[in-house]
Amino acid sequence: MLLVVQLNAMGQAVAVKADTSISTSSSPGPTPGTLQVCASFDSPAAATAFDVQLNPTFLVSPIGTGQITGTLTFTPAMQLQAQEFEHGDDEFRGNGETEGGGRFEEGAHRHQDGSSEGRTHYKNDQEHCSFKSTQITLIQITPTGIDPTTGRQLGVLHMEGQGLNYGQPVTFVLDSVDNGDSGMLSTYSLATSDGCHGGGHVTKGHPTYHHDD
């Protein structure tokens, strides 16, 4: 099976849009080297090729061919459980610190009737970030599964809008992930139109997803 793993801004593996072919076995698909939908995670054959796309934000310097080696292990970590927004209210809140010393606060609420509100603050001068939101134009709160340790529901937040960075008007995009106690650190990642790229793994505090029926 030829599989491409793409990392998002928080360094997490995410699903990627593929060509129209679908790989369902451990042999390479009809168009090797392209992004493909993986319909099943059967045992890959020996010497199966994996293309890993790294977010350049996390690269300290240019990396030449053959300079990275490692092992990819695919392990089901959560029981997926789909939900619809119409069935209740979704809330995502958190505050704390990220790796590198950034301090964050976030809060978002999507109501059963489709209305929503939110806010976020982030501060880390080393990342050119002293940001607070002033207007929210998009909030997406998505349940992702169940924490296998506590049984609590987990989720992700995507927020867009306008704000002030060092007092200057900017647009922003925020992505935050509640990974619970699954063994993976939760994340907070902020990007603004004037060059603030802040956040990462949360080392103190915790983003938390909550759903009310």
Report the Cα 38 to chain-centroid distance in Å.
Answer: 20
Polymer length of the chain: 213
Beta bridge mates, 157:
141, 176
Report the Cα 127 to chain-centroid distance in Å.
Answer: 19
| Long-range Cβ pairs for the range 15-21 (8 Å, 24+) | none
> Which pLDDT belongs to residue 41?
43
Enumerate the domain spans of the chain: 1-74, 85-212
- Say how far apart CA 70 and CA 68 lie, in whole Å: 7
- Say how far apart CA 59 and CA 62 lie, in whole Å: 7
**Confidence tier at 21 by pLDDT (50, 70, 90):** very low
> Which pLDDT belongs to residue 9?
44
Which tops the pLDDT comparison, 79 or 99? 99
Q: What is the mean pLDDT of residues 136-156?
A: 91
Average pLDDT, the chain: 74
8-state DSSP, 15: -
Q: What is the pLDDT of residues 162-211, one digit of tens each?
A: 999 999 999 999 999 999 876 578 999 999 999 999 999 999 998 999 98
